[in-house]
Structure 1
């Protein structure tokens, strides 16, 4: 489908239908809704005009109320603003549903194909088919759902969206009308701050309603197209889970919540199995299967509704009975309904007794504190003298002897130390009930040295684990620019350690390394973050190959381009020969979960895109994806210039104050969106280094100045032109998929920016010059990316995505004006406490709507 056709299809299937169905809101039997819906178009037009005239939010809103004072009394003004926010929130839901319902009809403008193109290649050439099969046997895609606080739709709203999507496909107006009524009465916000278990329950909705089906469907498609037996390439699609396990900077995650989440996941899975089994049992009523079906009935029912306190892993028992049912059907009943049994077999092979692998993550500083506490508590048993080691890294590595002990957890003064030790013991119990796949890796955040990993391994051996039974993978997370530079040296020390090498061999000689984008973007800016990670991957791949280690990169991608998101499948398709790419693992963050994996169609499409990327990067690598020494040098210098520009912004005396004063940064801490604090060291004054990257990016996105997604890129491109390197940069964009995607994702961030909304700030006495600094770099970046790409407008080659973004920005413009209005009102010291609290609530509600509409803003 040509770009013009895609744009026309989007207009007809999404924009026109959205306008039609939007009118249904005015027919809802709620007087307040009808009144709000009647006023909203006038308010939206007024906001658009005010932004064009560079008016302040106060001037826009006050002039609107002055113009329509006969319709809105002064005492009702704030109430109307709340109702406008609520109305727009539901318009966003409707737009999401209309767009997702038209997914197949509109398609995507991205040039990458799906698995179907791979299958066509395989069918046309036996040798290619063999290569594809071998590739699928060694590769996998693991999607890890994270606990980051930007998934704002509660479970009931998600269910409505999914039902609405199906009804919209059928144009079932009466039932669509009913669901819109339900939507009008369903709350969008939590009354209380969610616990880690609440977050797990929320995300488990996707496991149960989307991934459970999609993973099996994709596996079935691969088996059928390539004529494989079930199990030949099982577990191509894997799932990971962070709620309840990610305790980095979140004191609310404890070993008790980890245990509850693991139990929850197992129970939900068995209920999924039991629902499928009831269909199997209803259809298969033949002789010869009774014994096996009775056994399955007992196993699945008991684990669904009467689980034991410490259940066992019964995966093999379930599979045995299912395979026996299949055998009887094939031998005695002409294979009737065998496909139902095969579907359940595939699901059990994929999800076992655990559903999704629960990752444990903690900061290296906490792990060091735990290690040191045990040394002081048990000096004779640990046989390590802290005073002798000091800060000597080599001495610490040499001092760790990996002795096996069972040191009691008694009189622990620090809660995080106690939690670390207890969760290490708990892991063994979780593995017993769900196999080691239930929880098999411990991620060390802020990993800076080899002793961080070796010390954690020793902690396990001091808590009753033995070397022989240590079924755990220790995963360093390198995130800041400096940590990424040191990553290769850290891994060399690890690979050279005799005891660690022995452990690695028992784990299949496979090492997972996590590379994070969030903190590296906050630390070094967009271009430096991307380039630092790319360089680290090349160095880590070379070292791992030198030691014959099967390297798995786990990427902290997800959300917006500023946090490594955007067109992630294109990154994986363009890694080149210097980067290991057998296994694709990435985090799925925030509202990206609902936007890319919230429905069966979108989830299937996006997972297939990642699988396609992993296959073609191996079968059909592009020569330009492996950079030459000269190209690396050019990007290296550009990244340095971009980094310099970004650091000058970070060091600006107005930087943090600007963000605190004009954005809803402070409000993020008070709204009930997450169990996780907005910043580390939450009891201390705000410092940039403590501010979580997700809060940092969210604040800029609410200002519509997506600084983390573009700042410094224009300066780097201008530097290249001024230093006679433009031809190299042009060549990079045309031949390197990695560089091409960096630029295209940068354009996405810029398309979601709108400096006109805050243009009134250029005359501000305190922040005017700082605002101009931001706008100048935006204009410079836009000028140079258009020059580089040969486009006339941003995202010209992605008309569908651009049209979607533009419509969403139009819907939420009134929310942004209301939000900035409330922020500025809240800055007025004359406000009484009651009024201030109202404005704080108003800010919180607008944040929800803006983020949900943006889909990958934070």
Structure 2
């Protein structure tokens, strides 16, 4: 049942098919040459048998698969896995390049602006009567911030990503240039070299990553994409606005699209994120961005060779020339070069002062370091204004324009690092500090009301709780040290270096006030003036916390002391919503609904108290963790939830998928910005959903919650079923991240991190967190509303963006699931009775969920309305499915006691390949 729409390849997709065939042929040739015909023949036999099994769970095909796989030696098994894994990676590259190809085709054909572009967003705003003043106010206060996070399921090495980017660049060259036969042959040979290098390069890391390795990995995306594409985004947007309205020709946009990071500051359950890790992360980020500036300034000096005998310059530029250490006679008549030499010398001195070591190009002489990034920006603006007023405006629009924007966006810090820690840790730390300073206070035993009163009183006094003469626990000492390190970063790099403190598992007002008290200990909160230098961001994650978040914020806003602190932060309060733990806690449908209701409640509370709401969405890659198309997700928020500002986590393999290709990276950044503009300016007056829709959704959620909890938390033995039928145990031992899979040593699902929970289900192709409970919910609803129930659900799908997005995401998840393959993983459960109790139940719910989804959407097959994803699945799944079959066989061997390291390596390789094939699995 539920076959995906058949392959009817349109003409526009033929180049993609050709690229996939080309890369597949080159990989096949490489395997033959390196491993022999026998290996290639086995690869093909497994693929063909897997297709038969995939089609209808052909039991003969199952037996043939098992026979073939059981006969493979350990070494041969890993060769086969590597073959399929690399095909998945190469198919991804071809697909990404095709997205770029189609975008360029639309641009060349001058097609109507596409959804998710700033051109379309501005056009819609213009048609809706949004004034230029409205746009100015939006850009003046807007904030769009993708936040890169370390991710314990990201397994690719930078070495392989670099080679894959080389393949992408060669494909782009073949597509965009008319190559003569000799050039085509050279191009194919270059591809062959890249594929061979990939084949001979290890996909896996041999050692577990350290936090600093994750920092370095995250920084690579600035070289790939952000340094170049963010300035280009702003330049294109400014030009679009200038073409619409002459007033924009003399204005520069505020830098509302900026980067954030959790890498080096997120210590929730990660003991390796310390004050030293934060210091190193900040240092590496600063070194990366200042190194970029230095190289750009060096190149700019090479370009601006203007002769002072032919051009005039401003008085301010002359002042820069006069203070420049560059006295070379070769440049005595080149004022811009001399001024730029002075800027370079000052920035080189800044790099030295920050401990960055030697710069690539020696400065012309000694110069004072910049005391702030604003000084650097001011000098670059002098260059800009001098060029503009002296007939060289077109020169100002080149490298200098992009550099000035980069300096404004990235500062000396590159990306704002958020601090994050669990509320339970804060409670223990604050309790210890108070008990040390005021023995017998008994803070930990106090009720919430008493805690609030005590914390408010402490926040009013400048007296510190910490003392250099007292000894503290390792946990407390570490927490205080990292907050003090954040304070130091403000002095070194500016306040934007560390600007947010996220509280995981926030559930009470005291959770927020405890962080405020800790900030005071480092001078980041000053009682005498009521000022705070960091935003405190409660993260509401569980179902109960989401239901209570409105009341928590109401209580905080009712405190004059807290409102004073907010005023020092521009009367803006950020709230983070956690998709991961709410899903693990209550299931996909209930999680989505409780998040939606929480936003409605927050909008009401914030409006009542006159506080601006900034939402931070903790979205993972998978739908089970809040993933799915960003544009639709932002527009599906309730009215008033997007108030010109939004932050969204970008995680693991999603970062690589979105931002390793510069063209796709620019597109994904633009999607976030355009959706935020539309949601803010065009959807503010969107009517609330009909009460009937809300009541229906509440009832569906209740039924889904009961079904999900009944399976996951109330079925005896389910925990064991999960650990035995997935690769969760093996994932916990992978060298793929610095953070443990569980918050404690327990195997309880409650203690398991949401990422490996979702990732484990994705690997076995069941995708349970992304759909379980939906079929049961709709069945229960239809039983009690048999007359009009289905028609109402169909209407909700057509008319309500939230419900449409919910079902669209589930459509994607179900299409990527495979119950036949999942049945093979179920066989890994040793207890036959447990297996036969749970898997048939899961299968029925899977079937029900698909049938109800199709009935509501009116589709005849999954992904009928998403032909791009349907095409992607057709292209990759014949090569993905065999990896699952191979993984099952390896898990059997490993769990039977085969300790050969090649078995473990094979499991790790298969995890990599399956994650690559699914693309958004964690």
TM-score over 0.5 (shorter chain): yes
Greater alpha carbon shift after TM alignment, 666-675 vs 565-574:
565-574
CA offset digits 1:295-338 (Å, max 9, x no partner): 22113334557743899752111111111111222233523521
Distance in 1 between residues matched to 2:612 and 2:11, nearest whole Å: 45
**Who is 2:361 aligned against?**
none
Give the secondary-structure state (helix, strand or coil) at the position aligned to 1:193.
Answer: coil
Gap change, CA 1:823 and 1:762, over 3 Å in 2: closer
Asked if the contact 1:596–1:606 (Cα under 8 Å) also holds between the matched residues in 2, the reply is: yes
Moved more, 478-487 or 329-338: 329-338
Q: Taking structure 1 as the reference length, what is the TM-score of the superposition?
A: 0.93
- Picking from 353, 378, 382, the partner of 1:320 is 378
Does residue 144 (structure 1) correspond to residue 191 (structure 2)? The answer is no
The aligned counterpart of 1:69 is none
Matched, 1:166 2:169: yes
1:25 aligns with 2:45: no
CA contact (8 A) 1:9 1:106 kept: no
User: What is the aligned partner in structure 2 of residue 71 from structure 1?
Assistant: none
Q: Give the superposition deviation at 1:778.
A: 0.7
2:159 aligned with 1:156 = yes
| Correspondence list, 1:416-435, <5 A | 416-435=475-494
Aligned match of 2:43: 40
Match of 1:460 in 2: 519
1:241 aligned residue: 261
- Give the superposition deviation at 1:812: 1.5
Residue 81 in 1 paired to residue 77 in 2?
Answer: yes
Contact 1:448 1:490 in 2 (8 A): yes
Query: Is structure 2 residue 768 aligned with structure 1 residue 721?
Result: no
Distance 1:81 1:223, change over 3 A: same
Pick which of 335-344 and 101-110 moved more. 101-110
Which residue pairs with 1:190 in the alignment? Answer: 205
- The answer on whether the counterparts of 1:267 and 1:303 sit within 8 Å (CA) in structure 2 is no
Matched-pair contact (CA < 8 Å) for 1:283–1:337: no
Cα distance in 1 for partners of 2:661, 2:884 equals 28
Partner of 2:348: 301
Q: Hey, what's the Cα distance between the residues in 1 that align with 2:102 and 2:790? A: 36
Secondary structure of the residue aligned to 2:750 is coil
Instruction: Tell me, yes or no, if the aligned pair for 2:203 and 2:909 is still in contact at 8 Å.
Output: no
Conserved 8 A contact 2:721-2:834: no
Matched, 1:396 2:451: yes
Q: Which residue of 2 aligns with 1:98?
A: 94
Does structure 1 residue 755 correspond to structure 2 residue 775?
no
Per-residue CA deviations over 1:765-794 (Å, capped at 9, x if unaligned) read 440231111111111010011010000111
Residues matched between the structures, number: 838
Partner of 1:112, secondary structure, is coil
Q: Secondary structure at the match of 1:142?
A: strand
1:669–1:460: structure 2 CA closer, same or farther, 3 Å change rule? Answer: same
SS at match of 1:328: helix
State the match for 2:544 in structure 1.
Answer: 482
For 1:70, the equivalent position in structure 2 comes to: none
After TM superposition, the structure 1 stretch with the greater mean CA deviation from structure 2, 324-333 or 354-363, is: 324-333
| C-alpha displacement of 1:28 | 3.3
Contact 1:641 / 1:716 at 8 angstroms: preserved in 2?
Answer: yes
Q: Deviations over 1:587-646 (max 9, x none)?
A: 011211111222112122222222222222234339776212222111111111100100
Is residue 177 of structure 1 aligned with residue 173 of structure 2?
no
Question: 2:884 aligned to 808, 816, 822, which one?
Answer: 816
1:708 to 764, 769, 782: 769
> 1:563 Cα deviation (Å)?
0.5
Q: Does 1:63 find its partner at 2:131?
A: no
- In structure 2, the CA distance between the partners of 1:313 and 1:535, relative to structure 1 (3 Å rule), is farther
Query: Closer, same or farther in 2 for the Cα pair 1:664/1:110, shift >3 Å?
Result: farther
Q: Give the Å deviation of 1:124.
A: 7.1
Distance, in Å, in 2 between the alignment partners of 1:495 and 1:183 is 56
Distance 1:608 1:309 in 2: 33
Structure 2 residue matching 1:512: 3-state secondary structure:
strand
Shift of 1:234: 2.0
Question: Which residue of structure 1 aligns with residue 336 of structure 2?
Answer: 289
User: Which deviates further from its counterpart, 79-88 or 753-762?
Assistant: 753-762
2:301–2:336 CA contact under 8 A, matched in 1: no
Q: Which secondary structure state, in structure 2, belongs to the residue aligned with residue 591 of structure 1?
A: helix
Counterpart-to-counterpart distance in 1, 2:149 and 2:75: 35
1:56–1:561 distance in 2 versus 1, CA, 3 Å: farther
Q: Compute the displacement of 1:499 (Å).
A: 1.3
Residue 659 of structure 1: aligned partner: 722
CA contact (8 A) 2:487 2:522 kept: no
Q: Shift of residue 462 of structure 1? A: 2.8
**Once the 2 structures are TM-superposed, how far is the Cα of residue 55 of structure 1 from its aligned partner?**
5.2
1:607 to 669, 685, 688: 669
| Alignment partners' CA distance in 1, 2:383 and 2:686 | 52
Unaligned runs of 5+ in 2: 107-111, 175-186, 243-247, 307-333, 358-368
Distance of 2:914 and 2:15 partners within structure 1: 23
The aligned residue for residue 396 of structure 2 is: 338
Q: Answer whether contact 1:151 1:593 (CA < 8 A) is retained.
A: no
